[in-house]
Structure 1
Amino acid sequence: MKEYHKIQTVFKRDPETNMKTLLENNYSLPEFEYLAGNQWVFTEKVDGTNIRVMFDGEQITFGGKTDRAQIPAALAKRLNELFLPQLELFKELFADGACLYGEGYGAKIQKVGINYRPDQDFVLFDVKIEDWWLQRRDVEDIAQKLNLDIVPIIGQGTIAEMVEKTKTGFTSIWGDFRAEGIVARPSTELKTRGGERIITKIKCKDFPKTW
């Protein structure tokens, strides 16, 4: 099943700093600028590795960010434990198949992985059935039925409020350390005229450290 789409950073990057900093208020997509004053829903961005849980109606398989990506052995073991015993429930919930998108995270996944947890696990952030991305309440319902963690909502607000929150830096839901950043979607999910989802991100490290 399809790889997860790229999430554009809200602002363009500055070529004069070798793309290490942002050109504030120079939006990477015109839709972000147009919707900047609207209400967006903020979820904490997890610093891990992208994982796909794919169900074709008969069997459950796993993939990374790309089809070539390797899943760490400990994480693969955890995915098998978490999902394979639930095959019959998958058949009940997803008669036509589905793809669950999440983050593999924890110790030895990225430099800060140990801050999240001492082992490795999966946290859900999106579900797609055929051509439909499910709404947050439906993703939460699936997470509850499958006994999965889901990325936490940490607030709502405008793009300017999202930027200010990441500039200041904020503590992760997972512990006493700085969160990686924010993923934001309009409170009513929308698409561009090219049919792509309107969803953006920003990282705390894109700004000078305040911690």
Structure 2
Amino acid sequence: MNEYHKIQTVFLRNPDSNYKNLLLGKFAKPEFDLLKNIDWIWTEKIDGTNIRIMWDGESVKFGGRTNNAQIRTSLLEVLQNKFTVDKMSVVFKEQTEVCLYGEGYGKGIHKGGNYLPDSVSFILFDIKIGEWWLTRDSIEEIAEMLGVKIVPIIGIGSLDQAVEFAKKGFTSRIAENKQFMAEGLIMKPQQELFNRGGKRVITKIKYQDFC
């Protein structure tokens, strides 16, 4: 089932710095420039490993960002306990093309020990059923039914406001280490939008882009 799409950083990167630094104000896509002043939903970007949970109406399958990605045993056990056939059949009933997207995070996954020093877990950020991406309200409802966490909303505002917020840095809303700086923000328009190529309008900014 569908691999999760790449999320483009909001600004282009400077070739003179070997693409390490951003070209502030130079939007990476024309739609970002066009829509920069509308309200975007900002959610915390989690420093983890991309996970897909796929439901075909009969069975549950687990995958990473790509079909060849491997999932560590400790995380796979968590997923198998959280997303059982019984739970998925109750929540999604007769739906046969369901894909939940989230992050596996915690001990041993990047800097995940700041989130969970002694364990690993899963946090949800997107759901696609057939060709439809679900709204935030629907994702929250399903997360509650499944008993899983969802990435927290950090704010709502323009892209420039999101960039300034990330630039200052903010502490993670989910980390047990309350001093741990969040990786950054994912920004999506309040109303799901697509560009002329049919790609989702979604972007990101990281705190480390300003360090």
1:162 is matched with which residue?
A: 162
2:86 is matched with which residue?
A: 88
Matches of 1:89 and 1:149, distance apart in 2: 15
* Aligned partners of 2:31 and 2:201 also within 8 Å: yes
1:114 is matched with which residue?
A: 113
2:140 is matched with which residue?
A: 140
Offset, 1:154: 0.6
1:205 aligns with 2:208: yes
The 5 A counterparts of 1:1-211 are 1-84=1-84, 87-94=85-92, 95-97=94-96, 98-110=98-110, 112-118=111-117, 119-173=119-173, 174=175, 175-208=178-211
Whichever residue aligns with residue 162 of structure 1, its letter is A
Partner of 2:128, secondary structure, is strand
Tell me whether 169-178 or 134-143 shows the greater mean CA deviation.
169-178
Give 5+ residue unaligned stretches, structure 2.
none
Whichever residue aligns with residue 117 of structure 1, its letter is L
Q: Give the alignment's TM-score, normalised by structure 2.
A: 0.95
For residues 71-129 of structure 1, the C-alpha deviation after alignment (integer angstroms, 9 at most, x for no partner) is 11110111111112xx123223322220000000001000x110001210000000000
Matches of 2:193 and 2:65, distance apart in 1: 23
Give the length in aligned residue pairs. 205
Offset, 1:180: 0.1
Partner of 1:76, secondary structure, is helix
Q: Give the alignment's TM-score, normalised by structure 1.
A: 0.95
Offset, 1:187: 1.3
* Aligned partners of 2:55 and 2:61 also within 8 Å: yes
* Aligned alpha-carbon RMSD (Å): 0.9
- Identity across the alignment (%): 51
Matches of 2:89 and 2:181, distance apart in 1: 39
The runs of at least 4 consecutive aligned structure 1 residues that moved more than 2 Å come to: none
Whichever residue aligns with residue 185 of structure 2, its letter is I
